Amino acid sequence: MSQQDQNQASQNQEPHSNTVKDPDDWSTGDEPMTGAQKSYLKTLSDEAGEEFDESLSKAEASKRIDELQQKTGRGANNTGQQ
């Protein structure tokens, strides 16, 4: 990894960054999940063999997506290697 890539990676992981916020702290977290969340959550639920809950809020959907990404091996924190 080049120095520029390393610098960019560490900048993306700033602990005080406002780009990563706990869903419980979202001001709109109680609103219904977005269309994009709904579509992705449906896909992940199908892949994981889990029930899809259409009634989740934005915050709940975000947490569920994180859980299912771990289960299916998808997502930013998964490299596909096990």
Take residue 33 and report the two structure tokens written for it.
Answer: 């999940």
Task: Give the SS3 label for residue 82.
Answer: coil
Distances (CA, A) of 42 to 64, 65, 80: 11, 9, 20
What integer pLDDT is reported at residue 70 of this predicted model? Answer: 93
Please indicate whether residue 18 or residue 82 has the higher confidence score (pLDDT).
18
**Domain residue spans in the chain?**
29-73
Helix or strand run (H / E) with residue 17: none
What integer pLDDT is reported at residue 17 of this predicted model? Answer: 56
> Is residue 6 very low, low, confident or very high in pLDDT (cuts 50, 70, 90)?
very low
Q: For the segment 19-61, what is each residue's pLDDT rounded down to a tens digit?
A: 678 888 888 888 999 999 999 999 999 999 999 999 999 999 9
pTM for the whole structure: 0.66
Other beta carbons less than 10 A from residue 44's beta carbon: 21
What integer pLDDT is reported at residue 21 of this predicted model? Answer: 83
